Structure 1
């Protein structure tokens, strides 16, 4: 039974080929030493991947469909007349490439020719090598319609079209443009989306391997009909397809307006135009057109504040010409452009190129316009004996100059730094009118997991318009170990995650611990992890973060993808929010200005080709795309509390009202505060729990104390009090929630709440009624040393006197100011 390839069953025939040809023209052929076998093109091609008559001398006939007399291909394609309309040879191609530097300039499109030559396979494509005298032009002026339809993905179906005229139809999308600026070729795929990185979609291992195998069958290449390298030997010829007017971007929808030839080259199915094209070719003469998918700015993400991550691709204000030993990548005139090695610099070769790089980054960041931006791959200026923040401050100055105001500020390096660092680092910049740093930044220094990567940098922020009712958040920027190298446990296991996956898992694990410490330090559960994790969405390091309760904003809001590698889109850059904080976020968006653009537009490719592709705009300012997310922090201020038994002028009025404003107390239902009433132990636990920010705490199902049942008003607070080690209860297993808190016990609670810090009590007591051997002598002395208590005017402390609610408000107020430094 004959087999008709699946795709050909859906071919749309656009014209029939006439079997009668007008006009004749013959060229005498040089007789060969022995007669070649006369075969059809289909018999030469066969139904397999290689020709069944390879290495044999053959004669065949066909119509010339494409000619490459110039450009380096040195040949032409011929196709059996009538084959586009009637499939005489199911499963076998009716087209073939004629490699013939001797005769390529003698033929033109539409010639009916007979050729004699030797069959071979060149880089997977069947060809006939024809020498001078092996060509006879029988007639001219013929045409063949292209086979139209959705290009098949089955390898055998594509093999059956090798060398034939085709014109793909249906939805087609650009999936890779990496080689466009150099070789004039780019990759396409059927459908409305580019190909995805396997581990961005499915789990590493068997699923990822299967997914990528399916990817490989889908893509195909559109070439330029030549072998030119437009950045080297062919740099004086304008590069085809890419430009600044209608940029060739991954994700763009493509439409074929002219026929092309299905060929196979360098391991990929390749569509060749029927004649060489270049940047001089009019758009109307190109075989394909595509949509312009550029966006002038990211989508609005809402929220009171916004946060973003931006990889600035080796932004080095220290240029190569300032150092010794640097080697360079050069332009087509051998001018240095970027550092290639030999020194610690990684960026621009000189000031001229640095300014080109900086102009693009500045345009991108100022348009991104996020409240807080983390930066990756910025110069660590300390490596060059300069202030660590010099490059960072240079960038901020350039941003502000372009903005025309002091729009941006940098977060200064912390006082405590790692003992050794990479030449690139991470950093934060922010807009002071929108966000304000809280405290000093902090780098995770006490970990070996990041010895081969940049250590996380944390900074707390609040809204610039925040008041005491508003929250703060902690941002932690990351740049994990890359996938490019690793040995031993870090060797590439072949599961789709690349090399050094073990390192990235360890880094994610330590990042979680660092984030927990930052939560405790700043008394907030609002944490954002962001940066270049060098791990795709479904990979092991990201799973560590998900299991710790962090939620990906990329996936929550379907924000898009930040990176492109090997014609596969995915996200190595992420923004994740702690579990409860996710509810504060309003939206997120990936602004595709970099990964999907041609690398030819980078400053690093300046003057690689006679066509000037550089522009001082945001597009291809880096190789990673920024993700921006919006969120809210401010809360509506509650109506001020008024206590009927506390009026301005009363002792501790300010402290009591501060306690109420912070939500540590709401007083009684009748509107009173009852300032002289004693504080019982249950209420004391509640005060400390609220002072800590009412942290998320899962109280045990079984009570720790026999006299505090699970339905007690302050059950959670008392269990938290116990879990923190602030109280141990009484020896018989009770807590005695209604018992009054004496002033000595109160001092012990504050001391333990601070973590029982190292403190040596004075040899002589500061209070006349507090012997050095009295219970809680050290704790009471510590309380005095912190300025939380001064005792009574008569020099007593009165340790066994119950603490009153007004005095308790004063103690908490002073503790917050003097110990927690919250004012």
Structure 2
């Protein structure tokens, strides 16, 4: 928002306002960045805030100058690039669709305070957080303001948001004549949750005791739900189970106060008492209660999960995104403890986001032997086995992720429990194939090898790593994946409904390529045990998952869990699936497997990765 400017040009004032200001001229305080005017030429009748907000998402006065807009200050933001204040008309109109509050962008710290009655003149502006290309809704504001304080110590009007006030339906479909935008549609705040929140944009709102559904993050924000029974998980979150299950009770909470005072909360904790402040809209989650008053915190006592150890005849295969791990990180001991203690030392671990030996330093380094040696030593120190590892170094800066980091997938395996079949020929650009080994037995032409690395589906993305393992004389094929991220997708609160998921295009192509490779294995060996796993960056109900499963070649085993336990990630108050382990028919139909999503990260403020690891125990 720093590109917006502030002007002290004084628009005209009405006769009514002029007479009030004349009486209060001596006592009037000045705003540091806004001129104080006590006289002005006459103009048309004063515009009220609800006239500015209107009954759609875009102000009917956008781009126009307004003068003498009255209201009471409800919150002041003195930090960041969006300094300003909110004010609200204590005398609302009869239309529930028109908000009575609006943000005034000053550009530098204003000196008004909550409870000040003010008049504001300026230009009505529609500001799109994140820019027009983000697809976000716009925030109605008054810019280039001139502010006059009329009195202080006035009551601050407030509206309570509760389970009863928020509709169950999330949003109307966008207007097909406007490329699917909802901007021009009349607001129906009693029918749709997004319309309800929009009808309160800029107003001072209050919530009562509310359960935390996304933990506090480094940016001093968290998410709560005002609907405690809405798709609740067993551990206190709110599950995202379909594209039609957006979970209407979720609200982001930030603070207008000192960051040191912000609660350190985990999922399942409760923000108790009253939390109150203006309802903002931003590019990092949409509608946000920017709290002038924060409630207390009641801890739920949530603890990190520990899975059970595999039995002697069970093969334990895990996937774990360790979030850009490189030798300079301080999280090796924690990751090692997670693998040894919480995952109980799986036999095979697919690691995603292993960086090269100097992390983000962009100097052409691609080897990751130092990263892996440090992790393996930490696992031994934590009481685990001395794992061996296999991987293929990528072409420098060809696989996406942090520039210079060269993230890749790596197989860890316990040589005391499982053996790896090394077969030469795999490199960053050579495609692994499938051949026949003996009667009706499949084998990889290279192990480890990369799946179809020249396919355009993998442009600037991680190429799948295939390996051949032996457990108790049985061959198991494992394919480690890290599909393209969801970056660039429109948010759930987008002006376009349903929001566009542009990143799906690449994941769909990736899923098709992996599915085709699995079918090559099954064509040679119908009963082959194939495990495809990793950070799929998409939901178990998504078309990406359906393309991976296409033709019955694979099945996402997280669907064996009760719905309330199906999640690996927590984003904007939605507990959701991004990490998956998919199995071939020989594993699925034998039914001799157990799946566990081990919740050690996603629900906690002190997470060492943003993903929870997954473990599959099976009897090949």
TM-score range, shorter chain: 0.5 to 0.7
Task: Quote the Cα distance in structure 1 between the aligned partners of 2:574 and 2:102.
Answer: 31
How big is each residue's C-alpha offset from its partner over 1:640-681, in whole Å with a ceiling of 9 and x where there is no partner?
xxxxxxxxxxxxxxxxxxxxxxxxxxxxxxxxxxxxxxxxxx
Matched, 1:409 2:387: yes
Matched, 1:37 2:45: yes
CA contact (8 A) 1:26 1:136 kept: no
**Which of residues 557, 562, 578 in structure 2 aligns to 1:553?**
557
1:387, distance to aligned residue in structure 2 (A): 9.2
CA contact (8 A) 2:594 2:618 kept: yes
Matched, 1:514 2:513: no
Q: Which residue of 1 aligns with 2:587?
A: 581
Q: Which residue of 1 aligns with 2:617?
A: 630
Matched, 1:460 2:470: yes
Q: Which residue of 2 aligns with 1:109?
A: 114
1:481 and 1:222, CA in 2 relative to 1: closer, same or farther beyond 3 A?
closer
Task: Quote the Cα distance in structure 2 between the aligned partners of 1:46 and 1:164.
Answer: 14
Q: Which residue of 2 aligns with 1:474?
A: 476
Q: Which residue of 2 aligns with 1:263?
A: 280
Q: Which residue of 2 aligns with 1:298?
A: 306
Instruction: Please identify which structure carries the higher helix content.
Output: 1
CA contact (8 A) 2:388 2:413 kept: yes
Q: Which residue of 1 aligns with 2:98?
A: 92
Matched, 1:497 2:504: yes
Question: Which secondary structure does the structure 2 equivalent of 1:530 belong to?
Answer: strand
1:30 and 1:560, CA in 2 relative to 1: closer, same or farther beyond 3 A?
same
Question: Which secondary structure does the structure 1 equivalent of 2:202 belong to?
Answer: coil
1:627, distance to aligned residue in structure 2 (A): 0.5
1:116 and 1:426, CA in 2 relative to 1: closer, same or farther beyond 3 A?
closer
Aligned pairs for 1:279-290 (under 5 A) are 286-287=294-295, 289=297
Question: Which secondary structure does the structure 2 equivalent of 1:400 belong to?
Answer: helix
CA contact (8 A) 2:69 2:119 kept: yes
CA contact (8 A) 1:588 1:629 kept: yes
Q: Which residue of 1 aligns with 2:57?
A: 49
1:459 and 1:270, CA in 2 relative to 1: closer, same or farther beyond 3 A?
same
The worse-fitting range, judged by mean Cα deviation, of 562-571 and 44-53 is 562-571
How big is each residue's C-alpha offset from its partner over 1:96-122, in whole Å with a ceiling of 9 and x where there is no partner?
3344579942x44334x2414124125
Aligned pairs for 1:372-387 (under 5 A) are 372-377=347-352, 378=354
CA contact (8 A) 1:181 1:239 kept: no
1:554, distance to aligned residue in structure 2 (A): 0.8
Task: Quote the Cα distance in structure 1 between the aligned partners of 2:580 and 2:356.
Answer: 23
Matched, 1:66 2:75: yes
Aligned pairs for 1:320-469 (under 5 A) are 347-348=326-327, 353-354=328-329, 356-367=330-341, 368-377=343-352, 378=354, 391-403=371-383, 407-410=385-388, 425-431=408-414, 435-437=417-419, 440=422, 445-446=432-433, 449-451=452-454, 452=458, 453-462=463-472
1:580 and 1:46, CA in 2 relative to 1: closer, same or farther beyond 3 A?
closer
1:25, distance to aligned residue in structure 2 (A): 10
1:359 and 1:145, CA in 2 relative to 1: closer, same or farther beyond 3 A?
same
1:65, distance to aligned residue in structure 2 (A): 2.5
1:594 and 1:439, CA in 2 relative to 1: closer, same or farther beyond 3 A?
same
1:274 and 1:424, CA in 2 relative to 1: closer, same or farther beyond 3 A?
closer
**Which of residues 71, 78, 85 in structure 1 aligns to 2:87?**
78
Gaps of at least 5 residues in structure 1 are 1-23, 203-207, 227-236, 276-284, 316-346, 463-470, 487-492, 602-618, 634-823
CA contact (8 A) 2:271 2:297 kept: yes
1:49, distance to aligned residue in structure 2 (A): 2.9
Matched, 1:592 2:579: no
1:400, distance to aligned residue in structure 2 (A): 0.6
How big is each residue's C-alpha offset from its partner over 1:206-259, in whole Å with a ceiling of 9 and x where there is no partner?
xx6xx4xx7498765333338xxxxxxxxxx8566475xx34x5x766556222
1:514 and 1:73, CA in 2 relative to 1: closer, same or farther beyond 3 A?
same
Task: Quote the Cα distance in structure 2 between the aligned partners of 1:260 and 1:446.
Answer: 60
**Which of residues 194, 201, 213 in structure 2 aligns to 1:174?**
213
TM-score by length of 2: 0.64
Question: Which secondary structure does the structure 2 equivalent of 1:624 belong to?
Answer: coil
Question: Which secondary structure does the structure 2 equivalent of 1:625 belong to?
Answer: coil
1:549 and 1:97, CA in 2 relative to 1: closer, same or farther beyond 3 A?
closer
1:376, distance to aligned residue in structure 2 (A): 2.9
Gaps of at least 5 residues in structure 2 are 1-23, 29-36, 128-137, 167-191, 358-362, 400-405, 435-450, 489-499
Task: Quote the Cα distance in structure 2 between the aligned partners of 1:32 and 1:185.
Answer: 43
1:418 and 1:512, CA in 2 relative to 1: closer, same or farther beyond 3 A?
farther
1:31, distance to aligned residue in structure 2 (A): 0.4
Q: Which residue of 2 aligns with 1:713?
A: none
CA contact (8 A) 1:373 1:428 kept: yes
1:303 and 1:495, CA in 2 relative to 1: closer, same or farther beyond 3 A?
farther
Task: Quote the Cα distance in structure 2 between the aligned partners of 1:103 and 1:594.
Answer: 37
1:92 and 1:215, CA in 2 relative to 1: closer, same or farther beyond 3 A?
same
Task: Quote the Cα distance in structure 2 between the aligned partners of 1:481 and 1:103.
Answer: 44
Task: Quote the Cα distance in structure 2 between the aligned partners of 1:61 and 1:387.
Answer: 64
Question: Which secondary structure does the structure 1 equivalent of 2:318 belong to?
Answer: strand
1:501, distance to aligned residue in structure 2 (A): 2.6
Matched, 1:147 2:122: no
Highest Rg: 1 or 2? 1
1:508 and 1:483, CA in 2 relative to 1: closer, same or farther beyond 3 A?
farther
Q: Which residue of 2 aligns with 1:530?
A: 533
Task: Quote the Cα distance in structure 1 between the aligned partners of 2:345 and 2:146.
Answer: 67
TM-score by length of 1: 0.50
1:419, distance to aligned residue in structure 2 (A): 12
- Count of aligned positions: 486
Task: Quote the Cα distance in structure 2 between the aligned partners of 1:162 and 1:419.
Answer: 48
How big is each residue's C-alpha offset from its partner over 1:149-202, in whole Å with a ceiling of 9 and x where there is no partner?
23634444333323322223586653587xx424x44555653456777xxx56
Task: Quote the Cα distance in structure 2 between the aligned partners of 1:108 and 1:60.
Answer: 17
Q: Kindly indicate whether structure 1 or structure 2 has the higher relative contact order, using CA contacts under 8 Å at least 6 residues apart.
A: 2
Task: Quote the Cα distance in structure 1 between the aligned partners of 2:420 and 2:394.
Answer: 22
1:413, distance to aligned residue in structure 2 (A): 7.6
Task: Quote the Cα distance in structure 1 between the aligned partners of 2:144 and 2:420.
Answer: 77
1:510, distance to aligned residue in structure 2 (A): 1.1
Question: Which secondary structure does the structure 2 equivalent of 1:58 belong to?
Answer: strand
Task: Quote the Cα distance in structure 2 between the aligned partners of 1:102 and 1:425.
Answer: 44
**Which of residues 202, 222, 228 in structure 2 aligns to 1:163?**
202
CA contact (8 A) 2:282 2:288 kept: no
Task: Quote the Cα distance in structure 1 between the aligned partners of 2:365 and 2:69.
Answer: 72
Task: Quote the Cα distance in structure 1 between the aligned partners of 2:56 and 2:487.
Answer: 39
